[in-house]
Structure 1
Amino acid sequence: MVSEPIPFLANIALVAFVDGSISSSELGQIEAIRKELKIKKSDFNSALKLVEQNNHHLMLVGTFADQVKNLELMLRVAYADDDLEPKEASLIVSFCKLINITQVQLNKIKKEVLSNLKECGRLCPKCKISLDASAKFCKECGLEFAEPVIEKNIEFDIPKSGLAIEFADSSAASFQNALKIAKSLNGFKSCLKNKKNWYLASYKSGDLNESLELVEALSGIRNKNVYVDGKKEVWNEVFGFSWCATQRATAYRPDEYCFGKEDNRLNPWGCKQARMEWTDWANWFEFGSWEKKGISKKKNYWKFDKEKIGHELRSNLFRFRFCPHISYEILEESIRQLPEIIEPEAENDWDYNRDYEQTPGAIKIVLKEKEDGYVYTDEYWARGVRPKGLKGLEMLLKKVFLKLGLDKNKVEKLLK
């Protein structure tokens, strides 16, 4: 009785798997060995699983006599298909070195194994009946012994640059379309991992736009992964933008879609997903602080906290960061071109952001207004500024487009 049946059997199975597949003849021999050694079926399955998942390497098991027996059985499985493949031979030689078996001793063991194989014949792995050693088919079930029945795990060689998408067989309705799209690409690959077919689609350019058709087809499929420049990324972070890009593709003017024109919520950043629009209720106009300036220090000046604005933008856009339509040049330049200071009482394009409750950082504003001969006093708290219309946005974007060498006429079309 073998003391450690799982690694003992795994050594034998490793020889069968080393050439990339295990034939029915090899599987039949392994099953016969299991029965001869009275090894439990669960241990047999565990050994095969170890090898199948690339979690086993040759190791010494038991006494020297056990190790020689292990070698004998490895040869028995290797010669089950009559021929010894180069990879099988290399593995057996490595094991001989581990247990200090000479070439002369190996030749002797080999001779005995071949002789025994002729006497014992084959065992059909399906119906378990014994057959003549020269049999090519099982007379009971018709199984062809040369037919590979199990393939070894193969890992894809993920490209070090560009975009790569792998996905597994699925019963989802869109799977066949996804497979069709993947097969149409150059460099399409397939393999068997954990007894499941996997497929690899590669986009050398790295342009995520090119992959959107496949991404859409894979939306209902669970087993999928994405790699960017060889690094595995979270699917929803890479393709978090895909639904938005699909809508952009159908927009009348795609560029204007990104600036929020279709929703009548314009933004200066070039991405509506920033959720920081140019509206009088947008809270990012409160990112900053009040300063007192002038000779009497009575004038209120607002200074934007551009660092905080940038942080908020990057945080909001993080899950969309792979979107190929985001222009970080426009985004960063828009932050730089925001006014350094704003004096609401002296500028026509800006006003106080009014609040009738005191909040941290707010200042109290007292304004006297005349109407119909009466003087009214208006008191409120201001915790920031707000734009009056779109004039300030127009000036900002024109500066940005000019700085980046873009067409300023697009700004006028955007604001019409």
Structure 2
Amino acid sequence: MDAPVRILLHPSDETYFAMGKTLENFPTKEFAIDNSFKRPKELTFKFQRSNSSAFAKILVLAEKADEFNVSTIDGKEIFSAKWYYENICGCVDFALLLSRIRNKTLYIDGIPEDWKESMAFLPCLKDRMECYNPIRHCFGVAGNYLSIWGCEAIKLRWFGFENWFSWGTFDNPNVFRFDKARLAHELRRRAMKFRLCPYLNYTYIQEVVKHFPETVYVDRKKWNYRTCYNSRPEVLFVVLKDELGSRSFFTDGVFPKSWEIPAEIMAKAMGLSGKDELKLLWSSPDGTVSYT
């Protein structure tokens, strides 16, 4: 692990997010950096001439790289386009087109890397660049859902029917204990695929996991039972009685009903004093979230 450094949620974003502050002015914390998510210095794309209809456009975009050169090896032209990581957004259109041709190699800090694994972030970053409010894209708001992790591509969304709300066990019929070790493992595994995205902040994700509740009490106001439709050893059979009568069902986890829960978690992870300072406006009927 590297020495602790100061990191903002999205250092280059100009979008207003909380209390009229830009993200550059967010309160910061001391975080340790996971070396697997350490930013590279440069990306180099080497490719050969192709009969693809997109090749002419690829060549035009390649010439806009921070460094571009052409060499000849064994009678074949080898084109090389290098972007420094701080300018990575400038290579998105080029890399998306380059993915269509066969004879190409990606080098990250001089080391050849798998194209499919390393470039998985490109379509999502392209969508973000074209989004009216980019930060809403990262938090899933543009798609009318919420990703408290700040990365919608991770897909662990804040909806009760998401399977990850069943990751854990019931201590008793009213208390559910989340398996935070499994949650942290799955988040890291999924985030690794998008580690080159300049807006992925793994330290923020770690803070969200840290402030995520260990256990929740099923009071049917903030948390309710998550319904499942088959009996397994780890599920409970619940019988509820109220003014409407009684009903029974199987449950394997919990269902969040209050939007205050993710607001509090996110505020703590961002180093804010509370959910009110974050100023999130939630619309619970359809799950739409807006930020002010």
**TM-score class normalised by the smaller sequence:** 0.7 to 0.9
State whether residues 163 and 207 of structure 1, in contact with CA within 8 Å, keep that contact through their aligned partners in structure 2.
Answer: no
Q: Distance in 2 between matches of 1:196 and 1:306?
A: 53
Q: Distance in 2 between matches of 1:319 and 1:205?
A: 17
Q: CA deviation at 1:180?
A: 2.6
SS of aligned partner of 1:360: coil
Residue 149 of structure 2 corresponds to residue 275 of structure 1: no
Q: Which residue of 2 aligns with 1:339?
A: 213
Q: Distance in 1 between matches of 2:229 and 2:96?
A: 48
Q: Which residue of 2 aligns with 1:230?
A: 110
| Aligned match for 2:231, one of 358, 363, 366 | 358
**5+ residue gaps in structure 1?**
1-159, 293-298
Greater percentage in helix: 1
Q: Which residue of 2 aligns with 1:303?
A: 177
Overall identity of the aligned pairs, in %:
29
Residue 90 of structure 2 corresponds to residue 221 of structure 1: no
Q: Which residue of 2 aligns with 1:348?
A: 221
* Number of residue pairs matched by the alignment: 246
Q: 1:309 to 1:213 in 2, by over 3 A?
A: same
Q: CA deviation at 1:324?
A: 1.6
| Cα shift readout 1:290-341 (whole Å, capped 9, x = no counterpart) | 113xxxxxx6211111111122223333332222221112211111111121
Q: Which amino acid is the alignment partner of residue 217 of structure 1?
A: L
Q: Which residue of 1 aligns with 2:15?
A: none
| Cα shift readout 1:250-275 (whole Å, capped 9, x = no counterpart) | 11111111111121121111111111
Greater percentage in strand: 2
Q: Distance in 2 between matches of 1:332 and 1:275?
A: 16
SS of aligned partner of 1:402: coil
**5+ residue gaps in structure 2?**
1-39, 283-287
Q: Distance in 1 between matches of 2:66 and 2:201?
A: 29
State whether residues 163 and 206 of structure 1, in contact with CA within 8 Å, keep that contact through their aligned partners in structure 2.
Answer: no
Q: Distance in 1 between matches of 2:121 and 2:270?
A: 24
Q: Which residue of 1 aligns with 2:189?
A: 315
State whether residues 397 and 411 of structure 1, in contact with CA within 8 Å, keep that contact through their aligned partners in structure 2.
Answer: no
Q: Distance in 2 between matches of 1:240 and 1:309?
A: 21
Q: Distance in 2 between matches of 1:275 and 1:288?
A: 19
State whether residues 224 and 256 of structure 2, in contact with CA within 8 Å, keep that contact through their aligned partners in structure 1.
Answer: yes
Structure number, greater radius of gyration: 1
State whether residues 363 and 382 of structure 1, in contact with CA within 8 Å, keep that contact through their aligned partners in structure 2.
Answer: yes
Using CA pairs below 8 Å that are at least 6 residues apart, which structure has the higher relative contact order?
2
SS of aligned partner of 1:284: helix
Q: Distance in 1 between matches of 2:249 and 2:62?
A: 62
RMSD of aligned residue pairs (Cα, Å): 2.6
Q: Which amino acid is the alignment partner of residue 60 of structure 2?
A: K
Q: CA deviation at 1:402?
A: 2.4
Normalising by structure 2, we get a TM-score of: 0.76
Q: 1:411 to 1:230 in 2, by over 3 A?
A: farther
Q: Distance in 2 between matches of 1:207 and 1:401?
A: 26
| Aligned match for 1:387, one of 235, 240, 256 | 256
Q: Distance in 2 between matches of 1:283 and 1:312?
A: 12
Normalising by structure 1, we get a TM-score of: 0.54
| 309-318 or 255-264: bigger deviation | 309-318
| Aligned match for 1:191, one of 55, 67, 71 | 71
| Cα shift readout 1:70-93 (whole Å, capped 9, x = no counterpart) | xxxxxxxxxxxxxxxxxxxxxxxx
Q: CA deviation at 1:161?
A: 4.4
Q: Distance in 2 between matches of 1:408 and 1:194?
A: 63
